[in-house]
Structure 1
């Protein structure tokens, strides 16, 4: 099963939402379609960024990439209910390195 990573900048919280709601929304959204291997919060250039690693069922290369992008977009939509977001990046693990999809 190919491994992917979605990275999403978080620029602020919407009123009434605690910080932990961001990761909870992201994980919950991705888990509806994929196994989420890990998640973490980093500060990149002073901006919070969540990273979620997930598996996509094996099939053709393009189909896997497409499904990963769709799932990452769905995850972003879920996070945008509780927070303001910035850039979204989708990466694929290939030969021990992460490469943009």
Structure 2
């Protein structure tokens, strides 16, 4: 199964939400349709960024990429209910490198 990852900047929390809810929401959204391989939180240039690594069911290459992009969009939408967000990026693992979709 092909491996993908989505990264999303977190620019703030919505009122009434705790920091831990951000990652919980991200994992729940992606995990509802795909296997979540890993997750992490980094701070890049002072801005928190979550990364969710997930697998997509093997099919045709473009279809896999489309599914990964759709999943990343769902991730951003879900997380946006508990936090304000910034840049979303999606990557595909290929020959040991992460390629931007």
TM-score category by the smaller chain? over 0.9
Equivalent-residue separation in structure 1 for 2:43 and 2:98 (angstroms): 19
How many corresponding residue pairs?
Answer: 101
Question: Which residue matches 2:72?
Answer: 72
SS in 2 for 1:42: strand
Question: Tell me, which stretches of 5 or more residues in structure 1 are unaligned?
Answer: none
Equivalent-residue separation in structure 1 for 2:24 and 2:32 (angstroms): 13
Question: Which residue matches 1:48?
Answer: 48
Equivalent-residue separation in structure 2 for 1:2 and 1:28 (angstroms): 20
Aligned-pair Cα RMSD in Å: 0.4
Question: Which residue matches 2:3?
Answer: 3
TM-score (norm 1): 0.99
TM-score (norm 2): 0.99
